[in-house]
Amino acid sequence: MYVIGGVIDTRRLPLMTLIDCRTHKCRSLPRMKRGRYNAAAGVIDGKIYVIEGFRKRKSEAEWIEVFDLKKQSWESLPGPYPKTSSGCELKTYVVMEEKLYILDSKFCLVYEPKRNGEWDASVGATPLMDLWKYTCCVVDDMLYTIDRQRTLGHPIVVYDPKDKTWRPVKGESLGRLPSYLFDKSEMANFGGKLVILGSNESYVTGDCIGEKGIWCVIIELEKRQGGEIWGNVESLDCVLGDINFLMVRLCRTLTI
C-alpha cells in the first residue's frame, strides 16, 4: 500500500510511505515536490498519478506529479491545467478505463495520461455528477455508489462510462438490507464483489433488530443480458460490536 501525503496541523506533507502487508514492514519513499493532503491519486500503466491536494499559488508547475514504480522517482507534468480546479481538497476520485475521474463539489473532470495528458471537462455535462457520492468504488471499470434517495428505485446504482448512464443494481435481497448500511457508510471492491461497512447505532432500528456496532455486507454482482446489473447478498455480519458510535472511513491508499 502506498500512503501519499497527509497533514499536521495546517502543514501539508510531501511524504510517501510504502507498507508491505506481507512482511509487516514499512519504509519511506522519495518525497514529492509539493506537500499534499487529500489529493486525487490513481495507478495507470505502472505509474502513480497524484493531482491537487494543495493550496493554489501563482505558479503550479507541480500541479500533477507522477511516481514511476520501476524508477522509484517523481516527475512533474506540464500544463495546461483545467481552470475549473480549486487546487485544494477533492470530494472523491476513481480510476476507470485507465482514466482518472475527479469529483469536487462544483466540477467533474477526467484526466487521460495516455492521450498526452488531456483533460475532459465535458463529463461534467453528463449525468455522472447527478448521483456520484463520496461512498463509491470501481468494479470492472464501472462506478458503484449508494443512492440514499433511491432515485432509480434501488439503494445501489452503477455508472457505465461507455454509455455515460446510471442504472440501478437490482436484487430482492438488496431491498431487505437495513437502512444503516447506507448511512455514514463506506464501499470497497473486494475481489469483484461489493463490500459495504455501515454503523448501527442502536440495538433496535426501524428495519432491523441487531447488535450495535459496525456491520459488513458482501454483495456478489452479476451482469445479465441487456446490461442489467444484479446484486445478491452473500453475507451480513457485525464485525465490530458493542460500541457507541463509529464513523467509518476507509484509508485513501493505493494498492498495487
225 and 154 within one domain = yes
Q: What is the pLDDT of residue 58?
A: 52
171 and 112 within one domain = no
Q: Please give the mean pLDDT across all residues of the chain.
A: 85
Report the CATH number at residue 55.
2.120.10.80
Of 71-80, 122-131, 137-146, which has the strongest mean pLDDT? 137-146
249 and 136 within one domain = yes
156 and 112 within one domain = no
Q: What is the pLDDT of residue 25?
A: 95
In Å, how far are 40, 100, 182, 210 from 17, measured between CA atoms? 16, 22, 32, 39
- Print the domain residue range for 80: 1-125
Q: What is the pLDDT of residue 251?
A: 54
Block residue for cell numbers 500533477: 64
Contact 76, 34 (CB under 8 A): no
235 and 135 within one domain = yes
Sheet strands (E) in 5-162: 7-8, 11-12, 16-20, 25-28, 40-44, 47-51, 64-68, 73-76, 92-96, 99-103, 108-112, 118-120, 136-139, 142-146, 156-160
72 and 94 within one domain = yes
Last residue of a domain, one of 86, 104, 125: 125
Q: What is the pLDDT of residue 83?
A: 67
97 and 218 within one domain = no
175 and 54 within one domain = no
Which three-class secondary structure state does DSSP give residue 176? coil
* pTM, entire model: 0.87
Which position has the higher pLDDT, 28 or 238?
28
23 and 93 within one domain = yes
Last residue of a domain, one of 125, 156, 172: 125
165 and 69 within one domain = no
Contacts of 114 (CB under 8 A, 6+ apart): 44, 45, 98
How many structural domains are present in the chain?
Answer: 2
Which position has the higher pLDDT, 96 or 208?
96
Last residue of a domain, one of 97, 125, 153: 125
135 and 256 within one domain = yes
Model pLDDT for residues 148-200, shown as the tens digit of each residue: 999 999 999 999 999 999 999 999 999 888 888 887 788 999 999 999 988 88
144 and 42 within one domain = no
